[in-house]
Every structure is written in structure tokens, then in C-alpha cells.
Amino acid sequence: MTHVLGIDIGGSGIKAAPVETATGQLTAQRQKIATPQPATPAAVAKIVGELVQQFEWTGPVGITFPGVVVGGVVHTAANMDPSWIGVDAVKLFGSEGKLRITVLNDADAAGVAEMRFGAGKGVPGTVLLLTLGTGIGSALFIDGILVPNTEFGHIEIRGKDAEKRASEHAREERDLSWGDWAGRVDEYLEQMEALLSPSLIIIGGGVSRKSDKFLPFLTRLRAKVVPATLHNDAGIVGAALAVDAASNLTAVRV
């Protein structure tokens, strides 16, 4: 399989583009539609359908979701409408056609893309990708194999979910300086390093494009910390790559 439509569902926007899976390149301009509010299954499925139609797509489709996804079924939806919990997303997104649909956690998808084509390519041992956006997503790899649905954005720091303190949304909501926000990120990463001892931490999400503004402030870590190289396209690319591995996502080797 070489061409797959990747769709990346986020708390603020839903992005899509066709991907050449052999190279990780987008083969058409990325399209983005704001995530509906409330982000109910029906409302999001409508946007997904619109994106499929925009590309006149009839082939396989990989879709990310910001929550735990097991066997295509959504188990958590911290930054989406709670009515998602228990929804068979594969059935939902495939209900209006006969497209081959694969659904996985959004950070896992971004991690798969970065490990295949980006900052984690060829890196052995333990690698942790964290997407700092509306919340904090996480993807963990051991010698190139994905450990799915880790959701480390919800570990507790100072009595709150880490993402309530250290996500990009938290920085914008509290109007924090880059230095003040980086201090929160540093504290969070220090906790993750204590838990996992990764050799590499990749910072993804849209904020990765501004890494020069905060990476110099991250001083507490032994692990190497680098920005994602695919930036906001990582979720789209990873969603497309996951279609090929859909039969056994718990052993996605990149």
C-alpha cells in the first residue's frame, strides 16, 4: 500500500492529507477544519466525511483520536465530548461508505511517524514522544516497538493532571512567558525521566516549530530532548502508516 489518507483529530482542529507511506510525504496540500464544539461523535464524523469528500478519496483511511483507542473502540476522551467513551470509531467513521478505516491514538500516530521518518529514526532503546497542544499526548517506543495508549499527559503533578500545567494550551491560557512555561515542562519531563529513563525525548505538536523559544530552558534532564521534525504533519503521516500495521498495532515496529 502506498497512498493512504491520513486524518488527525485534535481538540482544536481536524487535519487531513493523502500520504505516500513509503516516504512519509504528503501528496496534496493539507486541509484543516476546526473541531466542532461540542465535539460529539456525530459532529466529528461529519467533518471527517467532509474531508474525505474534499480529497474525493476512495482508498484506505487512517484516523487519529485524542484518547485511548483499543480495537477501534474509544476508551477515554479527556479533551473531547465524554459521549465518545465506548464508541466504535471504526464503525462510526466507516458508516457512510465502504472505506477501509483504521483508528489509533493521536500521539501514538505522531510517534510512529517520527520514529519512521523523523527525529527518532534509527534510535534504539527507550524513546518518548510528547505532543504539547490542547493537552499532552505521549507515545513510548522500546527498540522501535510502540507501547500503545500510554497517556502520560495525565500523570499528577502538584495535584493536577500534567497537561493542565504544561500543555501549550496551559501556556496560552495563563499567558505564561516561554521561560515560565518551560519551567513547568522541565518539571514534567523530569518526572517522566524518573519513570522511564528514556535516551531520547521528542517534543511534538505545533509548539515544536518554536522549540528555540523553550528548549534552552530545559536544564534538569539527562536525556537528549529534541523537537519533532514532522511538526504538525506527524499525526497525519502516522495515521497513514498505521493502516499497514492495523492487524497488530501493539507491535508496530518502525
Written as nine digits, the cell of 101 is: 478505516
Which architecture characterizes domain 1-254 according to CATH? Answer: 2-Layer Sandwich (3.30)
pLDDT mean over 230-252 = 78
Alpha carbon separation from 134 to 9, 165, 176 (Å, rounded): 12, 11, 15
Written as nine digits, the cell of 194 is: 524518573
pLDDT of the residue at 251: 41
Phi, psi of 137 (to 5 degrees): -100, 160
| pLDDT (tens digit per residue) in 138-195 | 999 999 999 999 999 999 999 999 999 999 999 999 999 999 999 999 999 999 999 9
| pLDDT exceeds cutoff 70 at 108 | yes
Alpha carbon separation from 2 to 25, 60, 159 (Å, rounded): 11, 10, 46
| pLDDT (tens digit per residue) in 191-238 | 999 999 999 999 999 899 999 999 999 999 999 999 999 998 999 999
DSSP state of 35: P
pLDDT of the residue at 2: 86
Alpha carbon separation from 43 to 33, 81, 93, 130 (Å, rounded): 12, 10, 11, 27
d(CA 89, CA 254): 25
| pLDDT (tens digit per residue) in 9-65 | 998 899 999 999 999 999 999 999 999 999 999 999 999 999 999 999 999 999 999
Q: Residue 97: which pLDDT band, with cuts at 50, 70 and 90?
A: low
Q: Residue 1: which pLDDT band, with cuts at 50, 70 and 90?
A: low
Written as nine digits, the cell of 91 is: 464503525
d(CA 20, CA 3): 5
| pLDDT exceeds cutoff 50 at 250 | no
Q: Is 190 helix (H, G, I), strand (E, B) or coil?
A: helix
pLDDT of the residue at 155: 96
